[in-house]
Structure 1
């Protein structure tokens, strides 16, 4: 009789895969057991093991989005040494960035199935191998294969684990922990350009790029050493959830990601070229504009996330995106070093929130935790199309009409993203400004 009651209770409770100590298993990274348990029960929400996951995730961001944020320095270098237009060159960075988002559709279910370490190991190999191969490239098509495709796929393998694992170790501090981890992408965007810029004139493009690859290898080894999954879903995650398109908040927010990404990365790709070609600064000082953008973005990923834990992610990301749009339009009036430096600081700060807060927003907009992973993959894959085409369009505008046209395009695209984001909030929560959303 007791066994029968236990079976009935078990069937009525949500089950989750536990993953404690499963790294010693040989098959599929060994799922230890299936037990009836609330996935939110006993979340550490701190402690050494939880913060080690943040450290590991920090370095995954450092070597995924951090590499994307670094492409501006390669854009300027390739414009000098390759017989290609800025638009053609920017396709390298755009494809690399979009693959990071697109591959998440496949890696999400793999993460749910227990292949966390396989994803991190594969992604680590691909980004290091791709960077090593880039160091040997001399032609455009070679760079496209190594830096765009190989590194892009590797970054895609790292992205989902970097986002997913932190949320299982934190509850009330989830947005803050995610923001700290996401700050790794900004730090990567600060350090990697400096390494390349300082070493390339003395040891050449090949060895400067190899040094970057060795740093990637060392930091990714830390992630592989410290990161451990805590829980996994009981059921495999669906790749696509068509019911999401019947929900206005999700549709509007996906559109906001599309338009926002279309304009957001234009300064990251072109601010260095802008400063040089418009004779605003010397080439050496122009390089540091990209580092300033990424350095201020560190604070833009932590401070807004800290506030979002208290006021709601949509209530924070909307004003930050609006400020990014205003700054995008304001870029057209920057004609001196004294104006360009504050622009980079402010744009880096507010744009950082747009990159780090969306995962928390998707959690808030989803009807249940069981569809969050699927919807996150859908949102980034569809919204990321803007990232794919935005920078090449800006490059073509620069070629035909000058930098002003690309700057207006940047501001207008982010402004459209802001409008769609407001529509998502209103359709979800109404017009009440004092509601946590």
Structure 2
């Protein structure tokens, strides 16, 4: 479930690709006037060139395995949930309470993200990563001794979420610091770790519980996670000083921007569908007559689809546009739920759906930060993502309980029909939110180009005459030709302009 762009790292100046070459005379004049010590240090930090490999590949491998032993292990909760529901492990515990445990792990990981970002600033990346290893190990080993449901909530829910959050925030921003040209490939490999880890541990948990019991399943996971994460956490090296990293927990003015609010809507609606698929598919398999072993295979295939699909999502996003791909694949996931999942009854069809939907269900996690970087200024990205993680806490907490409440236990053949419809509609509604953002972005790109053209024309006239003509301010050149008026930011949201931009064939 990891993402392709750092949440706490930004460059100390704008991306080189977003800045037009500056006129040498203007640059010399600016340097002679504005070269303060702070500016000189600012430029030095911004001139960093990633090595695009080298030790970066060690970091890629380390983050891959951290993802496999955090989000991957968390993805296997669907197998635990199926076991809890069918065996009444903790008496007097309702299915709704079991569902909250899985949601708590994700929501707590997101809730702790701003604190983890702040702690990186105080104590460094490695300290935060090792703190995550401690909490996750404590969670899994502690879960093997629980005897009451509140202990399960604290161990497998809250404590595991804290460990996963510290490891996620500490590791997700490191790989982009080492790569430039190969960044998409490197981040795609990182994102695949959670899917492939989920596949491995769904199969492992499904095999261990019948043979060794629930307690030893937790202990084995705890030992493996501790060893692997501890090694990987201490192999990672950040380049915070080289890239000029800075930290900001929140940027509240973003909440005044309609495009950012729609972006948050995309996340909330996607998470309501994603968590429902992730944790319900294994139990759905048992509801249609498959065995517990077969249901664990279904959960593994879902994670296999995520592991195989996420690198391709990243590569296609670079080629066809990040917002375009995120919108299309989010919509496609909703269609798969409505047209395939609702008719899946056999092992073959359920397996086909699991792999197919896995390739697109986690599109949000593969594109969330790149999409946000297209919407807001790069300098505001950490603050925007921190707000995003907090906003996602409620939907990730309640998504699976909602799914369990929607089950129709009185219907033998269509127990999960309402869940399937709910999930599909959530993904489609999320795609509509992002489609509106796409329309705004297309219009905004046109507005920026027109502003640049107008500024270039004005600058050329000033160089020749040294004066700014009043007619130019009115949009009329010396030749009497009327220049196209630049639309205002507010005008981009007019219904006719927005609709025209939404259907425009543009790479955004």
CA separation of 1:171/1:433 partners in 2, compared to 1, >3 Å: closer, same or farther?
Answer: farther
Q: Describe the superposition over 1:401-425 as per-residue Cα deviations: whole angstroms up to 9, x where unpaired.
A: 7311111111111111111111122
Contact 2:327 2:434 in 1 (8 A): yes
CA separation of 1:247/1:116 partners in 2, compared to 1, >3 Å: closer, same or farther?
Answer: same
34, 38, 47: which one aligns with 1:11: 38
Q: Which residue of 2 aligns with 1:344?
A: 354
1:386 positional shift: 1.6
For residues 195 and 396 of structure 1, the distance between their equivalents in structure 2, rounded to whole angstroms, comes to 29
Larger Rg: 2
CA separation of 1:219/1:237 partners in 2, compared to 1, >3 Å: closer, same or farther?
Answer: same
1:245 positional shift: 1.4
Q: Describe the superposition over 1:103-134 as per-residue Cα deviations: whole angstroms up to 9, x where unpaired.
A: 11221233344521111000011001100000
Q: SS where residue 133 of structure 1 aligns?
A: helix
1:374 positional shift: 1.4
Q: Which residue of 1 aligns with 2:506?
A: 435
1:434 positional shift: 4.0
Q: Which residue of 2 aligns with 1:128?
A: 137
Contact 2:76 2:205 in 1 (8 A): no
For residues 175 and 376 of structure 1, the distance between their equivalents in structure 2, rounded to whole angstroms, comes to 19
1:151 positional shift: 0.6
Q: SS where residue 229 of structure 1 aligns?
A: coil
After TM superposition, the structure 1 = structure 2 runs for residues 316-335 of structure 1, keeping only pairs within 5 Å, are: 316-330=325-339, 331-335=341-345
1:158 positional shift: 1.1
C-alpha root-mean-square deviation of aligned residues, in Å? Answer: 2.2
After TM superposition, the structure 1 = structure 2 runs for residues 259-274 of structure 1, keeping only pairs within 5 Å, are: 259-274=269-284
Q: Describe the superposition over 1:38-94 as per-residue Cα deviations: whole angstroms up to 9, x where unpaired.
A: 43521122x221111111211221122112211101101111223323221010010
Q: Describe the superposition over 1:307-327 as per-residue Cα deviations: whole angstroms up to 9, x where unpaired.
A: 112222112111111111111
Q: TM-score, normalised by structure 2?
A: 0.77
Q: Describe the superposition over 1:345-400 as per-residue Cα deviations: whole angstroms up to 9, x where unpaired.
A: 111011132221112212222213x2211111111221342222111111111167
For residues 112 and 90 of structure 1, the distance between their equivalents in structure 2, rounded to whole angstroms, comes to 35
After TM superposition, the structure 1 = structure 2 runs for residues 23-422 of structure 1, keeping only pairs within 5 Å, are: 36-39=43-46, 41-45=48-52, 47-79=53-85, 80=87, 81-83=89-91, 84-113=93-122, 115-232=124-241, 236-279=246-289, 281-330=290-339, 331-368=341-378, 370-398=379-407, 402-422=415-435
Contact 1:86 1:399 in 2 (8 A): no
Q: Which residue of 2 aligns with 1:26?
A: none
Contiguous gaps of at least 5 residues in structure 2: 1-31, 444-500
1:143 positional shift: 0.6
For residues 34 and 90 of structure 2, the distance between their equivalents in structure 1, rounded to whole angstroms, comes to 67
CA separation of 1:352/1:272 partners in 2, compared to 1, >3 Å: closer, same or farther?
Answer: same
Aligned length in residues: 411
Q: SS where residue 173 of structure 2 aligns?
A: helix
CA separation of 1:14/1:414 partners in 2, compared to 1, >3 Å: closer, same or farther?
Answer: farther
For residues 312 and 111 of structure 1, the distance between their equivalents in structure 2, rounded to whole angstroms, comes to 32
For residues 46 and 240 of structure 2, the distance between their equivalents in structure 1, rounded to whole angstroms, comes to 7
CA separation of 1:6/1:39 partners in 2, compared to 1, >3 Å: closer, same or farther?
Answer: same
For residues 415 and 308 of structure 1, the distance between their equivalents in structure 2, rounded to whole angstroms, comes to 19
Contact 1:136 1:206 in 2 (8 A): yes
Contiguous gaps of at least 5 residues in structure 1: 16-35
Q: SS where residue 320 of structure 1 aligns?
A: helix
Q: SS where residue 48 of structure 2 aligns?
A: coil
CA separation of 1:351/1:407 partners in 2, compared to 1, >3 Å: closer, same or farther?
Answer: same
Q: TM-score, normalised by structure 1?
A: 0.88
Q: SS where residue 189 of structure 2 aligns?
A: helix
For residues 308 and 320 of structure 2, the distance between their equivalents in structure 1, rounded to whole angstroms, comes to 18
